[in-house]
Structures are given as C-alpha cells and as structure tokens.
Amino acid sequence: MTPPTSASPATQRAGASFERKLRTRDAIVSAAAQALAERGLPALTVGDILELAGVARATFYAHFSDKHDVTREVVALMWRRAASRYANFAAAPRHTEASVRAWMDELAHSWRDHHEEVVALLRGAPAELIQASDGYLDEFAAVLVDDGRHWRCPPPEAKLRAALLIVQLERAMLDLCRGAWQVPEEALLDTLSKLWLQALCAP
C-alpha cells in the first residue's frame, strides 16, 4: 500500500489563502446584514459595511461590485438558512407534537434573531426577494418532503401541503416578530405545531 502523501507547501499556502478569502467574504456578508438591519437598504453605504467588517475598501471590491451585489448575497444567505431549517425537519426520524413544537421554537428564535434584517430587505429590496422566492418555494417544499417518509399522502399532495405550510409559517413568523398577533406566542406556536402534524397525516 502506498502511504498517503502530504500536500506540498505551495498547495497548503493556496488552501490557506482560499480559506482566508472565504472568511473575509463571510465577514463582509455578515456586516452587510447587520448594517442593512440597522440602516435599511436606501441609506446603506459601502462605508457602513467596511466599518462593521473591519476591511479595506479594496478588499470589499475584490468580492462585491457594490452594496446591491452584497445584498443579493445576504438574500441568498437568508434562503440557505431557511432551506437548512426545513432540511432539519425532514431529517428527523419521526415527528410528534413535542418534536414539532421544539422545531417551531427554534424557528421562532431564528426569526427573532434576523427579523430586522428581513424587514429591511422587504422594504428596500422587494424585487430581489420576489425574484428569489419564485424558485425557492418549490425548492423548500421538495426539501421538506424529502423522501416522503413523514407524509402519509401521495407525493404530489405532500409537496402541495408542504408549500402551503411553508407560506403559512413564514408569514406567521414575520407577523409574530412584528407583534401583529393578538394571541400569546406560546399559543400561536402550539396551534402551528398541531396544523403541521395534521398535514402530515392522510385525510
């Protein structure tokens, strides 16, 4: 058996450089999300992002062309977070009222963490969100259904139910974070959990 060879110094340096670039890009996107939540898109400047990220202007422009370019990445990150949440739901070995309720708690916590960022995007970049959401709802529904093991109904019906549940849940979370519900959060999440469990069952 041939022993594994270690990477050459040049390869190691290239790998380390790539990792630094990724960390820098992530820091810029994180700073852009924070600045967006604080200032809103119309008032947001590249300077705001530079100050929060702690990077030079040349570094920013090595990754993004302008504030709208980095905003698109913030939107993409928002969709990736959502996809990950639905994938976690689909990956559970089984669902009970308690497990779905715990998942709802985590979801609500994530929404509260990113609420201002989402509101700023809805106000300042609706075209970005509409364009992205056209394809992401189908993607999220497919992620949520996964192999169909949690859904005691045919695949087309499962995907339709999943899409409707997602639309309902995302709107409920948005309204919850802005205080639009007249019922306590606990009661809302309890009801949402029951609706999700019912939707997983055959009629």
Looking at the domain assignment, is residue 31 inside a domain? no
Q: Express each pLDDT in 40-50 by its tens digit.
A: 888 999 999 99
Looking at the domain assignment, is residue 37 inside a domain? no
Give the pLDDT band of residue 142 (cuts 50, 70, 90).
Answer: very high
In whole angstroms, what is the distance from residue 184 CA to residue 63 CA? 43
State pTM to two decimals: 0.80
Domain span holding position 196 = 68-200
Q: Express each pLDDT in 147-182 by its tens digit.
A: 999 999 999 999 999 999 999 999 999 899 888 999
Tell me which of 102 and 130 has the higher pLDDT: 102
Q: How far, in Å, are 18, 78, 105, 124, 172 from residue 189 at the CA level?
A: 42, 22, 7, 29, 9
Q: Express each pLDDT in 24-40 by its tens digit.
A: 999 999 999 999 888 88
DSSP state of 40: -
Looking at the domain assignment, is residue 173 inside a domain? yes
**What is the CATH classification number for the domain harbouring 84?**
1.10.357.10
- Please state the domain count of the chain: 1
